[in-house]
Amino acid sequence: MGNSSRRELTEVGSLEDLDDSLPRPRVAVSPRPRVSDPCVSDLRVLLWDIDGTLIRTARAGAFKDYTIPMLEEVFGTAGRLPEMKVSGMTDLQIIAEALKDEGFTNEHILERIDQLRDRYMEAMRKATGNGEEFFEVLPGVRETLQAVANHPRYHSALLTGNIEPAAHLKMELVGLSEFFTLPGAFGDESHDRRDLPALAADRIRDSLQLELEPEQFIVIGDTPNDIECARHFGARALAVGTGRLYSRDDILACKPDAFLSDLSDVNRVMETLAGL
Ligand SMILES: [Mg+2]
């Protein structure tokens, strides 16, 4: 692949010969395998949401057990968080929304991001560390992750509103970490979930050393925000009906590329993914 890229680079001459007003052919400057390679173009990267898709809290709203004390400790108040419904939002967005009536801006929040992460993880470890089951894996998830891990067409990564250490701790607590060795994108990176697929895709292209097109990424999630962030990037969206906040009709109104009420039928999941 590197050789063919170099050959094409020679054919178009040096980079200085290219007219800047024209889009530069990516292959001329990239040593990576091209998407036109039949094997590469068939690959799909599954970008998994966590809450409502892979796992959920055993008790509705249990995430507030650790997010409310964390906010109170860092900002002296949890603002509107106790009454908020937060599915599909990034953690930064949740914090901004909770605190906006208290006079805190995005900048105030970002200034304290390191302290926030530390307190967040401390509060989460405390809330989840008493031996009782805090998170449960949703039906068929483990089997589906194993099936896609065994299939050469797929890679899996996390794309979640959770701050990164919280995402990893959740996967560790439910024993799913082994399926997510590729880099992903996380809720401490943006207030806007729509920013996350591009961040994840760049990291994954670098990690795999492959030039993958946006439509080779499939966002799998349970909320309209998951579908919207897929659209924004040009990825496919597979919606699941396992979230607590949105009905099947709410989700279908956002026109995902595919919808499954849950992941319990692994053959059906694999057939659905094969069509995306
Ligand atoms: Mg979710």
Digit-coded pLDDT (tens) for 172-214: 999 999 999 999 999 999 999 999 999 999 999 999 999 999 9
Q: What mean pLDDT is predicted for residues 119-135?
A: 89
The C-alpha angle with vertex 66 and arms to 161 and 242, in degrees rounded to 5, equals: 45
Q: Tens digit of pLDDT for each residue in 54-88? A: 999 998 888 899 999 999 999 999 999 999 988 88
Ligand 1 centroid–CA 13 distance in Å is: 48
Report the C-alpha gap between 158 and 188 in whole angstroms. 13
The C-alpha angle with vertex 202 and arms to 39 and 235, in degrees rounded to 5, equals: 65
Q: Tens digit of pLDDT for each residue in 214-244? A: 999 999 999 999 999 999 999 999 999 999 9
Q: Which helix (H) or strand (E) holds 108?
A: helix 106-111
Q: What mean pLDDT is predicted for residues 49-58?
A: 96
**In which band, very low, low, confident or very high, does the pLDDT at 35 lie, cut at 50, 70 and 90?**
low
Confidence check: pLDDT of 103 > 70: yes
Ligand 1 centroid–CA 196 distance in Å is: 14
Ligand 1 centroid–CA 246 distance in Å is: 10
Q: Tens digit of pLDDT for each residue in 151-178? A: 999 999 999 999 999 999 999 999 999 9
Ligand 1 centroid–CA 103 distance in Å is: 28
Please state, rounded to an integer, the average pLDDT across all residues of the chain. 88
Q: Which helix (H) or strand (E) holds 246?
A: none
Q: What mean pLDDT is predicted for residues 96-118?
A: 94
Ligand 1 centroid–CA 240 distance in Å is: 9
Q: Tens digit of pLDDT for each residue in 249-261? A: 999 999 999 999 9
Per-chain residues with Cβ under 5 A from ion ligand 1 = 49, 51-52, 222
Ligand 1 centroid–CA 28 distance in Å is: 39
Report the C-alpha gap between 12 and 27 in whole angstroms. 11
Report the C-alpha gap between 84 and 70 in whole angstroms. 16
CATH 3.10.20.30 fits 64-128, yes or no: no
Q: In the chain, what are the domain boundaries?
A: 38-57+136-274, 64-128
Longest dimension (CA), the chain: 65
Topology, domain 38-57+136-274: Rossmann fold (3.40.50)
Six token digits for residue 187: 């809720």
Q: What is the model's pLDDT at position 19?
A: 43
